[in-house]
Amino acid sequence: MRSMTALADNAAPPPDHQGPPASDSAFAHDLVAALAARPRSISPKYFYDARGSQLFERICELPEYYPTRTELDILRTHARELAALMGPRAEIVEFGAGSLRKVRLLLDAMERPARYLPIDISGEHLAQAAAALQRDYAGLEVQPVTADYTQRLLLPARLPGAGQRVGFFPGSTIGNFTPAEALQFLGAAAQVLRGGALLLGADLVKDPAVLHAAYNDAQGVTAEFNLNLLARANRELGASFVLEQFAHSAFYNAPWQRIEMHLVSRCRQQVSVGRRSFQIEEGETLHTEHSHKFTVAGLHELARRAGFRPGPVWTDEQRLFSVHWLQAPQEGDAA
């Protein structure tokens, strides 16, 4: 579900939308651009303030939301095999680290891991999770990196005597990218991880009813998570969204093999962000996220185009979810 990338092309703003955004922050700039565009769409990276990160952790515990528990089961079952592929003294770089729950399964099985570099856009949430991990793994160097990993990423040099550098990208976050953005991210990761590998989690194509339930839970936590983007805009940007006037909508777009999440306006309304004012008609939406689903063959083709060499694949018995070992280019290979 998680993502760090924009979702759609933005059209030029209508001429009646005048004035600067509420602040110079990227969130203010991108929200104003999204509200001015047709169709309206904003990056799901803005879900993840501290409140949004907490809500996502609750989503991962929901009975309908199979991806997290299924991926955890795969990692738990094959941890020794994965550790053998990583080798001794490996460094792990986790993109979009979140709660750091899944990486513990790898660390427990690895042979003397050298360092863990968790990367996440939510600095407060990351710092808390990294501190808890450091307490539990006293001999491990934990170096959190607060950054948007879809942008140009500079990582510290490998530690002296460290083994290969292995990227960890769980949760099918790769599905939140457009196909072009997924290729771009994987291409950049292949270069950052040269001489090592990427361990990638990817949600698989399946019965649409299973997907619908996962993104429309009975407790309404996913709806609260979606609406928190507007609540965050009110808190941080002084926006005027009335949350009760928007509804959560999530559905499976079969031709695109993706779940889409939207915020739907329940009525004709005016909203403001700073000095900018926007009219939203009843039924119009703000597209907040999409989550592509994959076949194993399709994911392997994407990885090859990015420069990786596909290796072993692990799935659960129902083939709901997959975990892939992708070998990065070697140090001497042409870029």
Residue 38 burial (10 A CB sphere; 0-12, 13-18, 19+): exposed
Are residues 164 and 224 both part of a single domain? no
Cα angle 294-85-291, degrees, rounded to a multiple of 5:
20
Q: Any idea what DSSP says for residue 46? A: G
d(CA 261, CA 27): 19
Average pLDDT along the chain: 90
Average pLDDT over residues 292-316: 98
What is the phi-psi region of residue 96: left when phi exceeds 0, alpha when psi lies from -120 to 50, beta otherwise? left
Query: If you search the block for the tokens 């199979």, which residue do you land on?
Result: 66
Are 51 and 232 within 8 A, CB to CB?
Answer: yes
Report the pLDDT value the prediction gives residue 10, as an integer from 0 to 100. 28
Tally the domains of the chain: 2
Average pLDDT over residues 288-302: 97
What does the pLDDT look like over 222-276, one tens digit per residue? Answer: 999 999 999 999 999 999 999 999 999 999 999 999 999 999 999 999 999 999 9
Residue 13 burial (10 A CB sphere; 0-12, 13-18, 19+): middle
Are residues 317 and 281 both part of a single domain? no
d(CA 203, CA 1): 10
Question: At residue 13, does pLDDT exceed 50?
Answer: no
What does the pLDDT look like over 56-110, one tens digit per residue? Answer: 989 999 999 999 999 999 999 999 999 999 999 999 999 987 778 899 999 999 9
What does the pLDDT look like over 154-173, one tens digit per residue? Answer: 788 888 999 999 999 999 99
Instruction: Name the phi and psi angles at 285, rounded to 5.
Output: -125, 155
- pTM to 2 decimals? 0.86
pLDDT band at residue 209, thresholds of 50, 70 and 90?
A: very high
Are residues 106 and 190 both part of a single domain? yes
Are residues 147 and 112 both part of a single domain? yes
d(CA 199, CA 103): 11
Question: At residue 15, does pLDDT exceed 70?
Answer: no
In a domain, residue 215? The reply is yes
Are residues 214 and 273 both part of a single domain? yes
In a domain, residue 332? The reply is no
Average pLDDT over residues 207-226: 97
What does the pLDDT look like over 114-139, one tens digit per residue? Answer: 999 999 877 777 888 888 899 999 88
Q: Which CATH number goes with the domain that contains 312? A: 3.40.50.150
Report the pLDDT value the prediction gives residue 308, as an integer from 0 to 100. 98
Are 53 and 122 within 8 A, CB to CB?
Answer: yes
Report the pLDDT value the prediction gives residue 126, as an integer from 0 to 100. 83
The identity of residue 47, as a single letter, is F
